[in-house]
Amino acid sequence: MANIFEAIPAALPVEIFESLAAGGGVKIERIVSRGHTTPADNWYDQEKNEWVLVLRGSAVIAFPEKPAVTLLEGDYLTIRAHEKHRVQWTDPGRETVWLAVHYQDE
C-alpha cells in the first residue's frame, strides 16, 4: 500500500514524475510540482491522450489555440493526443500534486 501524498521531498528543484501503474496502453503517474512551469518556447505534443486531476495545489495549463485553463483542487481536464499544451504556472508556495492518466482512444 502507498499514499499519493507521501514521499514528497521538502525541496523540489525539479518536478517529480512517478509511474504508479502501467499496462495495456495505459500509464498512471503522479506528478509533483512547486512553482514549476514548462519553458515558454516549449509545447508538449503527446502521442496519447492525457487526463489530469489536481489533487492538491493549483495550476494553469496554456494552449496555443485556445484560452488557458486554471485547475484548482479537484479539477480535472482531458488533453487530447497532439493537442499542444504547456504548464504555464503552478503554485510556488505549496506542492501541486497531479494524477495523470495517459491512454489511447479505442
Every domain of the chain and the residues it spans: 16-103
Q: What is the pLDDT of residue 7?
A: 92
Q: Which fold has domain 16-103?
A: Jelly Rolls (2.60.120)
Number of H helices, E strands in the chain: 0, 8
Is the model's pLDDT at 106 over the cut of 90?
A: no
Is the model's pLDDT at 95 over the cut of 80?
A: yes
State pTM to two decimals.
0.93
Q: Where are the beta strands (DSSP E) in the chain?
A: 16-23, 26-33, 49-56, 59-62, 69-71, 76-79, 86-90, 96-103
Could you give the CA distance from residue 45 to residue 2 in angstroms, rounded to a whole number? 31
